[in-house]
Chain A
């Protein structure tokens, strides 16, 4: 299988930093995506990593370690609008679809 593992829920305070982890099976790995999904809405693309290292986009950064089968999404200066589910999805060679984790629900409190 291609088990994509994410923690299920976390609560953080406005202005804080939160890190969301994702682990996956490394065999055949060909890229990892992070999506943000607000309740009742479609997921929206946040980031894509295919090489090791950190990709920064404003308040959001995503890190990848291919040898460890590990990625994290870092959310800085949390805002109330960041309350959402964050989905990790992995592309594998030879597969025609992404393998999704169950998502991590982030709740931002004042």
Chain B
């Protein structure tokens, strides 16, 4: 079955450490996205990629980095420069052709906690 997989489900980070969240999809989707969700807030876009080897900053990119070396994979690194990284992180993908009604397919999320 096709889908989008995020790992790990829970992640603990010490202050000053970089951590990388994994996102893999086998849906053959071109576009992939990273969102952050805090309690009581909506989804805020961190980075997105429309095609391999290309990505764009979203609304809250500071302190994060991404790569898109393969169509299937879009890992997110939370760097030590991100001052408040504790949050729920969601990865999503979508097929091209939004006019036909393709929305996002979401991964199950990674909950990152700074200890």
Chain A residues with a Cβ under 8 A of chain B: 8, 30-31, 33, 35, 40-45, 48, 50, 87, 89, 91, 96-98, 100-103
Contacts and interface: CB of A to CB of B under 8 A. Distances in A.
A41 B109 contact: yes
A98 B41 contact: no
B56 to A, nearest CB: 8
A106 B107 CA distance: 22
Nearest to A6: B42
B42 A31 contact: no
Contacts of B42: 87, 100-103
Contacts, number: 51
Interface string B71-88: 000000000000000001
Interface of B: 31, 33, 40-43, 45, 48, 50, 56, 58, 88, 90, 98-99, 101, 103-104, 106-109, 111
Contacts of B88: 40
B111 A40 contact: yes
B106 A96 contact: no
Contacts of B99: 30-31
B50 A42 contact: no
B48 A48 contact: no
Nearest to B111: A40
A41 B48 CA distance: 21
Nearest to B102: A48
B54 to A, nearest CB: 11
B109 A96 contact: no
14 contacts: A30-B99, A33-B104, A40-B88, A41-B108, A43-B90, A45-B104, A48-B101, A87-B42, A89-B103, A96-B56, A97-B45, A97-B48, A100-B42, A103-B42
